[in-house]
Amino acid sequence: MKTGSILSRDFFDRPADRVARELLGAWLVVPGPQGRSTQHVVFETEAYLGAHDLACHGSKGMTKRNATMFGPAGRWYVYLCYGMHWMLNIVTGSEGVPAAVLIRGVGEHAGPGRLTKALGIDGSFDGRPGARQGGLWFEASGIRVPPRRIKRTPRIGVDYAGDWAKKPLRFVVDPAHLRTMPQSRRRES
């Protein structure tokens, strides 16, 4: 994919584990004042596969909180966890299938709650498109993370999910390899 192109609905309209894997190395772009933006390389994600995935919010049916997950791919799904941390997800797969990818690490920001705080992302982003118009989007960086540099582990904090808690649906770029790529950069527009 061409460097700098915005990842659009087609990219996200696929199984969440595939999207989670391929988001590694992409840029998360956060617009700032006066055309100043920052871009942050994605280095940690988790996939939530759908209604059959007991760790996935959607597995308990649609509620007001998780309704965005059931919508079309490529929108932000943002919710509050433990009363203080905003979690940033991007919806994946077909409309009606509650699947998403949790963004756990970008740039030098590790931890899903810390990155949203650092980047000023909150519940007002829920349901917005992952596009320029939505005020937050992904771009192809041209960085290819070799499969050997990616660790797969069980997802964090989902021990309640039985067998699904053990599935290797967390994707992390090896820290040594991460140091060889640009993490966060300021840029124009």
The yes or no reply on residue 155 touching DNA (CB under 7 A) is yes
Q: Is the CB of residue 164 less than 8 Å from the CB of residue 54?
A: yes
Nearest Cα neighbor of 47 from 114, 105, 99, 116 is 99
Q: Which stretch binds DNA (CB under 7 A): 28-36, 145-153, 154-162, 171-179?
A: 154-162
Cβ proximity to DNA, 89 vs 141, nearer residue: 89
By CB under 7 A, residue 160 contacts DNA? yes
Taking the C-alpha atoms of residue 28 and residue 117, their distance in angstroms, rounded to an integer, is 15
* Nearest residue (CB) to DNA, 2 versus 82: 82
For 161, residues 6+ apart whose C-beta sits below 8 A from its C-beta are: 53, 54, 55
Q: Does 185 bind DNA (CB under 7 A)?
A: no
Among 63, 94, 124, 153, binds DNA (CB under 7 A): 63
Report the residue from 131, 150, 156, 181 that binds DNA according to the rule CB under 7 A: 156
**Cβ pair 38, 115 in contact under 8 A:** no
The two tokens of residue 147 are 């499969």
Q: DSSP of 101-145, one letter per residue?
A: EEEEEETTEESHHHHHHHHT--GGGTT-BSSGGGT-EEE--S---
Here's the x/- map for DNA, 105-144, by CB under 7 A: it reads as ------xxxxx-----------------------------
Residues that bind DNA (CB under 7 A): 46, 48, 55-58, 60-61, 63-66, 69, 77, 80-85, 87, 89, 100, 102, 111-115, 155-158, 160
